[in-house]
Chains A and B, each alone.
Chain A
Amino acid sequence: MALLEVQDLHTFYGSIEALRGLSFTVEEGEIVALLGSNGAGKTTTLRSISGLERPRSGAIRFLGRDISHMPAHRIVQLGLGHVPEGRRIFVNLSVEENLMLGGYLLRRTPREVQARRDEVFERLPRLLERRHQLAGTLSGGEQQMLAIGRALITRPRLLALDEPSMGLAPILVQSIFQIIAQIRKGGTAILLVEQNARQALRLADRGYVLETGSIVLADTAKALAENRRVQAAYLGGEPEVAL
């Protein structure tokens, strides 16, 4: 049984059909990349999975349970973390408060939360230096690290990452991808939406290519990296390799 199994997912924004029957799976411990151009439906897919959007039809099974109608906070509780597009850290709270909120579900065992917070600080010493600053004053890379660290405090079984390298300098992109590699090593499966397709595919086991709300290509990361259609999906234009 797959860790996450999405079947024929349809999600609408008003009268606009953003997802048109999406199906894919993520297995325990693997990294799966979702690729595609802007507006292809990648972010909507993640938001539907984590309960921020209500899909109109289709099934989303996580650990064997249908979560398509579960409220978002219950899905997090089941072990599905989501680092949303644009990081969405709480800029009005301090770095430390952001991390403590990451441990909100463990609030009855504050000592455990502190231990895990310290673990984040150990991994990401930049955050330790700035623990009392308002999160809004962090640089883009630090904000992204905070967003990832915050999502890891609950130790999710699956982590959905939406464009973690967006707008970051190459050196920071490097560190973010290192962190992703660490997370996988820790046994967390990752569903990765990423602009930086080459690097995403280097790290991923498998990948899917989305176009206007449907999956047009599914393969191993290695095969996708060599597929010209992937380039087409990013750079645009007609695919040079037919399906």
Chain B
Amino acid sequence: MVATRLGPAQSLITRYGPFVVLLLALAFPLGVNAYWVTVGIGILTFAMLGLGLNLVVGYAGLLDLGYAAFYAIGAYTTALLTTVFHMSFWATLPFAVIFSALAGVIVGYPTLRLRSDYLAIVTLGFGEIVRITATNLGFTGGPNGIYGIPSPSLFGFQFFSQNSQYYLALAFVLFVLFFTRQLAHSRLGRAWLSLREDESASEAVGVPSVRVKLWAYVFGAIFGGLAGAFFAARLTAISPDSFTYTQSINILMVVVLGGMASFPGVLLGAAVVIGLPEMLRFMQIWRLFVFAIGLIVLMLLRPQGIWPAASRKENPFGPGQAGKLGPPLPLDALRREETGGEGAALRVTGLRRRFGGVTAVDDVGFEVRRGEICSIIGPNGAGKTTVFNCITGVTRTDAGDVQLDGRGLNRRQPHQVVAAGLSRTFQGIRLFKNMSVYENVLVGMYPHQRASVLDSLIHTGRQRREERESLLRCQAWLRFCGLEEQAGHRASELSYGDQRRLEIARALAAQPKVLLLDEPAAGMNPSEKQSLMGLVRRIRDLGVTVVLIDHDMNLVMGVSDHVVVLDRGRKIADGTPQEIQADERVVDAYLGRDEQTDEEVGAWPS
């Protein structure tokens, strides 16, 4: 379990640990023989590969069983360009990167819409296709591969000796580590994690899942290709045998064994996956068997990996951070600029949806005026959530029309609906459970952030400015919802009521025109409900139109300007709270008609 507070020992490790590890890595070749230096280079190569694959598997949660394909493409690019065109190693690197990235797009683009298990086999197939192609083509040297690749040289220095190659590998690892970390700590990295945690929730807060996944794929490919280029130049000879499915699996093991989305985990994983079998050499033929058993036992004991990523973060708004971020934003900064215009904020007409033999929503239509709180009420199974799902593009509609501020939302995907200005929360809470509270809110800002992928990679001034502004807005939203203190907590650690509020904060972070709340008060006690309704009023006062689903009629009556009542998929009433309370049909719908049950019934089972 995660410690409740970062202890002094832990903060010492986070502060000085990397330097100690770097020093040890630098000193390593001095203390061991050439054989172990070679093993060290192997570990470093797999660390590069692991770091790249970590973006795909650990961050975006996409299972890739053919990662060695990108490794191969990078290696063959460098091998061919140096041997055939006599280019220098360094000059081949951009080509290695471009070709593997292209391969990533070619495989990823048509297949990323597939379910993850199918994606796994597509990647597996692609890996095999690349390897077999390399084995069978003439210009790739067939099964023998390519010989005579020149060792890299820099300013006349030849990376010839084991030790120099080791340091070159270390430099490559540091380079890859730097950029993968930059990506991880950006808009893109957060979006990846959110997809891994809950893809449909992620879509529903505005992350365009296919595009974001594709970038994970492309960056994974780029770093894999880079590792391949290094590998080719170091060995001076490559053959298809180095890029087998088994190799892909080894790289995957590095990531999962170490700990998904954990940078120290990946480095440790590389050391274990490559180093441990070497250390077990004295066992001779038992070596891999023992390694396999060890692997199973390790996964049984630590399914999260050896060094799992910390999901609890330091509170970025805590007392220790004062001054770094600048003064908090005033509440007014959250106010919505009135977009003006007449007419309804949200207009739904003729909505219809069937599931199998059940009509969940039947010809439902209503209007929500700008700046009001509108409640949709009705007993369980009345179709309220289905209406929300239809409006937000989560489920297909069979018929009907939805307009936000006069613009049609039909056939839009959930993330486009958010970008258009309509956010939602879920009935069953759907937070990104293993991300921190403030990261949850930052993901909610995705649709309005402008940092490009390049900005995210190199953390330009523009990106840093936007991140700082986002953090300030995040702080303001968390403060608005009363969660600033818990900003660094893991979302799943929050109490029930706080999780509800965090979901609202995340939805608000997208700066919606209209906010849909699906049973925000479910499971709360009366006083929690009262404070929640206070929050709903304050949201309205910021200029956000609120649509609320709830059961609790009296509570809804207190807060709403306008109430729509559904029963069994149909609208049965629509009016002010006073009108609704006077409506007999509504009370009947709730408590049920008191109809005579036929008492003359036979017993069953007889």
Instruction: List A residues 205-219 near B (Cβ within 8 Å).
Output: 211-212
The answer to the question of A107 belonging to the interface, with a C-beta cut-off of 8 Å to chain B, is no
Cβ of A234: which chain B residues have Cβ within 8 Å of it? 551, 553, 590-591
Judge whether B597 and A38 touch: CB under 8 Å. no
Minimum C-beta distance from B554 to chain A (A):
3
In Å, the complex CA distance between A168 and B383 comes to 11
Residues in A whose Cβ lies below 8 Å from that of B519: 38-39
What are the residues of chain A within 8 A of B597 when measuring CB–CB? 174, 177-178, 181, 199, 202-203
Q: Provide the bound-state CA to CA distance between A75 and B21, in Å.
A: 55
* Interchain CB contact under 8 A, A37 and B552: yes
CB within 8 Å of A: which of B580-606?
587, 590-595, 597-599, 601-606
A199 touching B356 by the CB < 8 A rule?
no
Complex Cα–Cα for A185 and B604 (A): 7
**Is B555 part of the contact surface with A, judged by Cβ < 8 Å?**
yes
Quick one: closest A residue to B528, CB to CB?
A: A212
Contact with B along A139-182 (1 / 0, CB 8 A): 11011000000001001000000010111111001100111011
Q: Quick one: which of B363-391 are within 8 Å of A by CB?
A: 379-383
Q: A142-B357, A167-B568 are in contact. Are A173 and B523 (CB under 8 A)?
A: no
- B356 near A136: Cβ-Cβ < 8 Å: yes
Q: Tell me the chain A residues, 78-116 only, with Cβ under 8 Å from chain B.
A: 91, 116
> B605 touching A186 by the CB < 8 A rule?
yes
Q: How far is the CB of A166 from chain B (nearest CB, A)?
A: 4
Interchain nearest-CB distance for A196 vs B (Å): 3
Q: Does B496 contact A (CB under 8 A)?
A: yes
A9 to B515, CA, bound (A): 37
Q: Which residues of B, 519-536, contact A by the 8 Å Cβ criterion? A: 519, 521-526, 529
Residues of A within 8 A of B524 (CB): 39, 212
- A195 touches which of B358, B380, B529, B604 (Cβ 8 Å): B380
How many Å from the CB of A152 to the closest CB on chain B?
Answer: 6
- State whether B592 touches A185 (Cβ < 8 A): no
Alpha-carbon distance between A38 and B520 when the two chains are bound, in angstroms = 11
Q: Assuming the A-B contacts A37-B552, A199-B597, A236-B551, are A140 and B605 also in contact, with contact meaning beta carbons closer than 8 angstroms in the complex?
A: no
**Quick one: CB contact mask for B531-561 with A, threshold 8 Å, 1 for yes?**
0000000000000000000111111101000
| A235 and B492 form a contact (CB under 8 A) | no
**How far, in angstroms, from A200 to B379 measured CA to CA in the complex?**
15
Report whether A187 and B357 are in contact in the complex, using a CB–CB cutoff of 8 Å: no
Q: Are B591 and A231 in contact (CB under 8 A)?
A: yes
Rounded to whole angstroms, the CA-CA distance of A68 and B556 in the bound complex is 38
**Pick from B383, B591, B602: contact of A196, CB under 8 Å:** B591
Quick check: A185 and B381 within 8 Å, CB to CB?
no
- Residues of B with C-beta under 8 A to A14: 492
Please give the number of chain B residues whose Cβ is less than 8 angstroms from any Cβ of chain A in the complex: 49
Question: Would you list which residues of chain B between 331 and 370 have a CB under 8 Å from chain A?
Answer: 356-358, 360
- Is there contact, CB below 8 Å, between A199 and B594? yes
B161 an interface residue at 8 Å Cβ cutoff? no
In angstroms, Cα B359 to Cα A168, docked, is 10
* A137 and B356 in contact, given A116-B605, A212-B523 (Cβ under 8 angstroms): yes
Q: Please state if B604 and A152 are interface contacts (CB–CB under 8 Å).
A: yes
How many Å from the CB of B175 to the closest CB on chain A? 40
B493 interfacial by beta-carbon distance below 8 Å: yes
Bound Cα distance from A199 to B606, whole angstroms: 24
A72 is an interface residue with CB less than 8 A from chain B: no
Q: Report chain A residues within 8 Å CB of B499.
A: 16
Q: How far is the CB of A14 from chain B (nearest CB, A)?
A: 6
A138 within 8 A of B: yes
Within 8 Å of chain B (Cβ to Cβ): is A183? yes
For B382, what are the chain A residues with a Cβ–Cβ distance below 8 Å? 167
* B592/A196 in contact, CB under 8 A: yes
Q: Are A167 and B381 in contact (CB under 8 A)?
A: yes
B594–A195 contact, CB under 8 A?
A: no
A73 to B602 alpha-carbon distance, docked (Å): 30
Asked whether A91 lies within 8 Å of B356 as measured between CB atoms, the reply is: yes
Other-chain residue from B357, B591, B595 in contact with A140 (beta carbon distance below 8 A): B357
- Is A221 part of the binding interface, using a Cβ–Cβ cutoff of 8 Å? no
7 example contacts (A-B, Cβ-Cβ < 8 A) are as follows: A139-B357, A167-B358, A170-B593, A170-B595, A195-B381, A203-B597, A234-B551
> What is A's interface to B at a CB cutoff of 8 Å?
14-16, 18, 37-41, 91, 116, 119, 123, 136-140, 142-143, 152, 155, 163, 165-170, 173-174, 177-179, 181-183, 185-188, 195-200, 202-203, 211-212, 231-232, 234-238
Q: Which residues of B contact A (CB under 8 A)?
A: 356-358, 360, 379-383, 492-496, 499, 519, 521-526, 529, 550-556, 558, 568-569, 587, 590-595, 597-599, 601-606
Closest CB pairs A-B (n = 7): A167-B381, A237-B554, A39-B523, A236-B552, A196-B592, A39-B522, A185-B603
